[in-house]
Amino acid sequence: MPENAAQSESRELPARITIPPVRGEMVRLRPATVEDLDKMDAIDAYPGASGITGKDRVAERAAVHAWVRRSVAWSLGEAPTESGVGDPEARRTIAWSVITESDHDGDGEIDAADSDNVIGMIFLIDIDGWARSARIQVILGQDYRGRGYSRDIMPRVMTYGFAPEPAGLGLHRIWVSVPEQNTRAVSVYQSLGFVPSGTSRDALWNASQNRYQDLIVMDTLADEYDPIRSLDAFGMHVIEDNPGVKEALSAREHSIAIQQGLGAARNEADSEAEKLQGKSVREPADRVAGATAADDVRNSGESEGKGGASPDAASDGEESNWPYAQGKGKAAKGAWWRTLGRGRKRGNDK
């Protein structure tokens, strides 16, 4: 078999997937069903769609219906010819319903009793096995927006997406697209580690303002995303039995070990450098009769520029000729721990 054919097969998505449940602190996720689509209407999930996702209400509702049906078809192992909702590029979708069984607003009643506890959905859309990429999107009922539910569930779904197979999907990239006016969503995504990667100018029509608006594309990569830090940024806790979490914790421990190893190596290198520096600034005892090495450096202008400057000269604000001191400022700014996990140059990296 040709090598490229073998690579192609190895990057194909499975014909069938078991969608795992996911637990959050405020809500839980279960695989979405076709029956849940009526509940999305009951919680009024589509108003203001043009300002939130860039679609009008009708288009947003139609997209959600297609995503849920594709998710169900994949979980059943149905081929595109059987389900009628396949993707010509063999991409897939996973849909979870967001469930709450609590009284978060303190009114004495379960928040979503009228919709069988469904308050919205979260999706991994256009899951591309070849590119190992997917788009994430959350859609909540109108009364459940701005309460922190997205912050609870997005890091947990992303952890599953990035986790290696079979614990997760083994994705390399997760991305979002946000209308420019949805600054609140942009802030949430940045807190999750998403980086702006491009802008589609005048890509969307804003019906409420009767004008075009830009579409901002943001993404994060497997070697950039830290699920533990993302949860911590929102004051959320790790739930260890969620899919992909054990793998994420293991990877984090490995990363910390690498950091500690690099730190120890750097300390050792600095120690050796200090020894070399100490040797380089020693003055011969007979260089100037009756004068100490420090006096020689302070009093002789000829000694500057010859590699003989002393620590006192550097501490007095004079320019140092020490080879290691010259690089210390730059090394601090570009220290390894500042760029750990950033395997690629991004447009806004400094």
Whole-prediction pTM: 0.71
pLDDT at residue 66, as a whole number: 93
Give me the helices (H) in 77-148, please.
80-83
Helix (H) or strand (E) holding 205: strand 195-206
Which two tokens mark 129? 């096995």
Give me the helices (H) in 234-344, please.
245-280, 293-299, 311-315, 323-333
Alpha carbon distance 229, 252 (integer Å): 10
SS3 26: coil
pLDDT at residue 317, as a whole number: 38
Which two tokens mark 204? 């969307």
Helix (H) or strand (E) holding 126: strand 118-128
Instruction: List 178's β-bridge partners, or say none.
Output: 216
Q: Which parts of the chain have pLDDT scores under 70?
A: 1-10, 49-54, 86-89, 103-107, 110-111, 113, 255, 259, 278-350
Q: Can you say how many angstroms the Cα of residue 205 is from the centroid of all Cα atoms in its chain?
A: 28
pLDDT at residue 51, as a whole number: 62
**CATH entry 3.40.630.30 includes domain 3-243:** yes
Q: 279 vs 248, 267, 268, 323, CA distance in Å?
A: 46, 19, 17, 12
- The full set of domain ranges for the chain reads 3-243, 255-338
Rounded to a whole number of angstroms, the distance between the first and last alpha carbons of the chain is 45
Amino acid at 319: E
Widest distance between CA atoms in the chain? 99
Alpha carbon distance 324, 328 (integer Å): 7
Which two tokens mark 103? 């009284």
287-298 burial: b if 16+ Cβ within 10 Å, else e:
eeeeeebeebbe
Alpha carbon distance 11, 78 (integer Å): 19
Instruction: List 174's β-bridge partners, or say none.
Output: 134, 220
Number of H helices, E strands in the chain: 12, 8
